[in-house]
Amino acid sequence: MQTFEDFLNQMDYLDQKDILKGVLDWIKGKYPNLEEKVGWNQPMFTDHGTFIIAFSVSKKHFAVAPEKLTMDKFRDHIRKSGYEDSSMLFRIKWTDKIDYELLSKIIEFNIEDKKNHIKFWR
């Protein structure tokens, strides 16, 4: 799997595919300098070769993985948005409203925090 389109085309449910495509397209439009990458069977965005955010899908939700440090920083906002979380990711049910303000804050924090970072992971 090489592209976001490849990833989306392997999804079983059209409505779920459309939701995730909308999120990915929103990120591409708002942050055009981020690079698209599919790694570990997940669409992700990177900046100068360092990880910014990734997504995975399941039957009931899609998961957002921004790394543990970022999860810890935004955990209260994540929970206030009604999303379930673990130490490394949070889950947005396919029926949930997407909190784009939260996604913006997470992405912008990672871009700024990792601007001089040279490794893929923290």
Q: What's the pTM?
A: 0.95
Phi, psi (deg, nearest 5) at residue 13: -110, 125
Give the pLDDT confidence of 39-70 residue by residue, as tens digits: 999 999 999 999 999 999 999 999 999 999 99
How many H helices and E strands in the chain?
4, 6
- Whether the predicted pLDDT of 1 surpasses 80: no
Query: How many of the other CB atoms lie within 10 Å of CB of 67?
Result: 20
Between the alpha carbon of residue 9 and those of residues 1, 58, 96, the distances in Å are 10, 15, 22
* Confidence label for 2 from pLDDT (cuts 50, 70 and 90): confident
- At 71-100, the pLDDT tens digits run 999 999 999 999 999 999 999 999 999 999
